[in-house]
A and B are shown apart, each in its own frame.
Chain A
Amino acid sequence: MLEKSLKGNLGYWAWVLFLLGIIGVGVICYIVQYNYGLGATGMSRDVTWGIYISQFTFLVGVAAGGLMLVLPYYLHHYKDFGRITILGEFMAIAAVAMCMLFIMADLGQPMRALNVVFHPTPNSMLFYDMIVLSGYLFLNVVCGWVVLHSEYQGIKYPSWVKPFIYVSIPWAVSIHTVTAFLYCGLPGRHFWLTAILAPRFLASAFAAGPCLLMVIALIMKRTTKFDIGRVAQDKLVTIIGYAALLNFFFLGCEIFVAYYSRIPGHMHTLDYLYFGLADHSTGEVFNNLVPFMRASVVMGFAGIGLIFVSRYLKSDALLALSCILIFVSFWIDKGLGLVLGGFVPSGLEQITEYVPTFVEIGITAGIWATGFFIITVLYKIAISVKLESEKAA
């Protein structure tokens, strides 16, 4: 089945080469970081996690978002999702792979990573994160590959894979819940210390994951003969729209609690993210994330509005635009604000701002390119098989 990825037109190969080029840049940047230490990044004593961990957090969401494509088909026998279920599973594989790479990039002593296995520590949330992430990767590789391979052979998938499919559904919820628990169980980090962090993560995940898939599906609709179909498209709009609205509802809850209670610790980070925060002693205002966070809110609401309009107008272009808006909005919210904001102010009431270095951005781009490379190869296989089996039928 893998041979399907080796047959493609010029555009396909140009895209693959482009991704490999960026991966190469990422590798070079990583060598620089490996030789110098994590000081090659913008992280500091006060902001100890940067863009790597925030990408990791966001991408766990993208992986979990695959659930929204798998669940209707397998649990509710929603036949119109038959063509996209496999895409959801393969997207999850790429996203989890990126998550793992981002964790590795963030470790000060990557060669010791297996200490997490050698010295298992059940009181650490990172221990559970390792279990659920590797488990989710395994489940999606097994389910995705076996189901597709059966289709390739023109038979129904074997029944032994069914339990794995059913387990993968709650498992998707678990990966993002445990990832939220990494943050929301830490005393003294007020911004993260909220019980709705996991629900908020899930809401944004169930919007961002399908958004990415929708954009890719629309690109494939133009460049290949593969069309997920109007019905599935419209259903996805509903899912994305409601999940995105829920995310903003949760954000609103956070804002109410902070500003109505007026507890300083609860307000500080929100102040910093959306308005700028002044230092106690010097009065200097820090606000380098404010334009991003405000743009996130505007893009998010615009995206939600437009996505329903696009369905009404049956416009693929508008649908793609609104999906991109929502995806970028949530990427800023979770891929920047959530992690970086948690460190401002520090436990010592100091404000240190973080700006990623070129090396850091290079590595980040390299890992994203790796993810897209995996998606490209897997989707190429998937749609080749799908188109062939449909032709045969």
Chain B
Amino acid sequence: MDSSRRKFLKIAGISAVAGIGAPSALNMLMKNEVRASSEGGGHGAQTDAHGGEGAHAAAPVGKRYGMVIDAVKFHDTPGLAEKCIEACHSYFNVPNFGNKKDEIKWIWQMPFTNAFPGDESHYKKDERTHAMQFMLLCNHCDNPPCVRACPTKATFKNADGIVMMDFHRCIGCRFCMAACPYGARSFNWRDPRGSKDGVPFIKKINPEFPTRMRGVVEKCSFCDLRVKRGLQPLCVEATGDTKAMVFGDLNDPNSEVSQVLKARFTIQRKPSLGTMPSVFYII
């Protein structure tokens, strides 16, 4: 057999093997994707802990936590937002460095254009919406880009949909911060346990929750430990009877949050990105 013929046969053989193998491999990869997106419109697809990206997508069973924020009620009740933020930040030992560069925040307020960029209409500016401030926090996405990006599984998704942080595993690469489209994540640029001019960055340390060390990322945890004990997240609790925030199981059709979502028109932040946020807004 001359060499060019042998070469040809070799290449033909290899391509045949690749041709047979590739579609089935592709199919295997695609199957999970299709299943994950066809079931329950995303909310309900349950994934295993430590972020298996829809690999174990199943029927909407189990808990799937979410939240509805009524921006109108916040607008009409001055001081309510500050109360929520204080409840969260004081419990979780979120430091205040007094400058924007080092800023750490788990929940905060911003105007419509910042909270919903690209959604504002250019000509018709309804004044009330534009005067409103919106409570922003981690969206605990169904399809979290931060979990996908993290190289150490330091950020991962619980079975109940809560996106968690392991402060002890985080290497501080900040890939998750680049990946998050919502600016929900903060980095400890310096030691949060320190102080400046005698004023500590954490006003009063709450011994119930650990302070962080410098060089790790942190964010809202939907108060996972309270939720596990059957309590409401601290921010929700702080809104009291106003019902400005409603938290609960999105998979349970009878839960208060599901009822509100059924009855009211709500919007999500950047839904076009396919992250499927778990936080909804009434505007």
Binding site for B on A (CB under 8 A): 36-39, 43-46, 48-49, 103, 106-110, 112-113, 115-116, 118-119, 121, 123-127, 130, 182-183, 186-189, 264-265, 280-281, 342-343, 345-350, 352
Contact = CB atoms under 8 A, between A and B. Distances in A.
A112 B169 CA distance: 7
B145 A107 contact: no
A125 B187 CA distance: 20
Contacts of A281: 111, 113
Given A38-B172, A124-B175, A348-B110, A187 B181 contact: yes
Nearest to B150: A124
Nearest to B189: A39
A56 to B, nearest CB: 11
- Name, among B101, B154, B188, B273, the residue most crowded by chain A CB atoms within 10 Å (CB to CB): B101
Interface string B145-172: 1011111111000000000000001111
Given A116-B152, A126-B149, A348-B114, A45 B175 contact: no
A108 B216 contact: yes
Contact of B151 (A36, A127, A342): A127
Given A48-B187, A109-B216, A342-B178, 18 more contacts: A37-B188, A37-B189, A38-B190, A43-B189, A45-B102, A130-B151, A186-B145, A186-B149, A187-B179, A187-B273, A188-B182, A189-B178, A264-B118, A265-B118, A280-B113, A346-B183, A348-B136, A348-B183
A350 B216 contact: no
Contact of A107 (B53, B148, B172, B181): B172
B190 A119 contact: no
- Name, among A115, A116, A130, the residue most crowded by chain B CB atoms within 10 Å (CB to CB): A115
B180 A347 contact: yes
Contacts of B151: 115-116, 121, 124, 126-127, 130
B270 A108 contact: no
A54 to B, nearest CB: 12
B181 A108 contact: no
Contact of A123 (B117, B148, B154, B273): B148
Given A121-B153, A188-B181, A115 B115 contact: no
B275 interface: yes
Contacts of A45: 100-104, 183, 186-187
B191 A37 contact: yes
B153 A348 contact: no
7 contacts: A49-B178, A108-B173, A108-B215, A123-B53, A130-B151, A281-B111, A352-B100
Nearest to B108: A348
Contacts of A109: 170-172, 213, 215-216
Contacts of A189: 178, 181
Contacts of A343: 178
A126 B214 CA distance: 22
Given A37-B188, A38-B189, A350-B114, A44 B100 contact: yes
B174 interface: yes
A112 B113 contact: no
Contacts of B100: 44-45, 352
B51 A46 contact: no
A36 B147 CA distance: 28
Contacts of B113: 280-281, 349
A139 B187 CA distance: 36
B101 A187 contact: no
A107 B173 CA distance: 5
Contacts of B153: 119, 121
Contacts of A44: 100-103, 189
A220 B122 CA distance: 60
A302 to B, nearest CB: 33
Contacts of B220: none
A103 B151 CA distance: 13
- Name, among A37, A103, A126, the residue most crowded by chain B CB atoms within 10 Å (CB to CB): A37
Contacts of A108: 170-174, 187-188, 214-217
B174 A48 contact: yes
B177 interface: yes
B152 A119 contact: yes
- List of 4 A-B pairs having minimum Cβ-Cβ separation, nearest first: A108-B172, A188-B181, A108-B215, A39-B189
Contact of B215 (A46, A107, A121): A107
A349 B215 contact: no
Contacts of B104: 45
Contacts of A110: 171
A369 B268 CA distance: 49
Contact of B149 (A125, A130, A280, A350): A125
B57 to A, nearest CB: 15
A131 to B, nearest CB: 11
B13 interface: no
B177 A48 contact: yes
B210 interface: no
A115 B169 contact: yes
A347 B152 contact: no
Contacts of A43: 189
Given A126-B151, A186-B178, A106 B187 contact: no
Contact of B274 (A48, A49, A187, A349): A187
Contacts of A130: 151
B101 A126 contact: no
A166 to B, nearest CB: 15
A182 B178 CA distance: 10
B152 A121 contact: yes
Interface string B206-222: 00000001111100000
Contacts of A124: 148-151, 175
A369 B15 CA distance: 47
B118 A115 contact: no
A349 B114 contact: yes
B187 A347 contact: no
A347 B191 contact: no
A100 to B, nearest CB: 13
A188 B273 contact: yes
A281 B112 CA distance: 12
B272 to A, nearest CB: 9
